[in-house]
Amino acid sequence: MKPATWRKAAERDAAEAAYWYATQSDLALDERFLAAVEAGIEHVSQHPGSGSLRYAMALKMEVLRFWPVNGFPYLIFYVEHEMQVDVWRVLHPQRDVPAWMADGESG
């Protein structure tokens, strides 16, 4: 298992999505979303090669993978390194993923 390191943009993405779920329903949905994100990150920490490379070519990032958030329309974007998994973003797939990924590169 490789430890996961969250970029600030990924933390912000997850917090904003959780807030949206809380305002649309109740705190239980917010908590279920965050638990599903954590479960997804735990999965990629244990099996980093299991995520899809579908966006990697479009973004010119050969090592970029994503894993779906179970039960929610979000994707966890990450890069595997020798000693860790770097969580880049947590995005809804209907967004302009390349633009959002570029926005989070520095964070």
Domain count across the chain: 1
**In the prediction, which pLDDT does 55 show?**
80
- Give the model confidence (pLDDT) of 32-76 as tens digits: 999 999 999 999 999 999 999 988 887 778 899 999 999 999 999
Overall average pLDDT of the 14-42 stretch = 92
Nearest residue to 39 via CA among 8, 68, 59, 73: 68
Burial of 12 (0-12, 13-18, 19+ CB in 10 A): middle
List the structure tokens of 4: 């996961």
Range of the domain at 88: 4-103
**In the prediction, which pLDDT does 102 show?**
64
- In this structure, what CATH number is given to the domain that contains residue 31? 3.30.2310.20
How far apart are alpha carbons 41 and 6 in whole angstroms? Answer: 10
- In sequence order, which residues have a C-beta less than 8 Å from that of residue 38 and are 6 or more positions away? none
Overall average pLDDT of the 69-85 stretch = 95
CB 87 within 8 A of CB 3: no
**In the prediction, which pLDDT does 77 show?**
94
**In the prediction, which pLDDT does 107 show?**
47
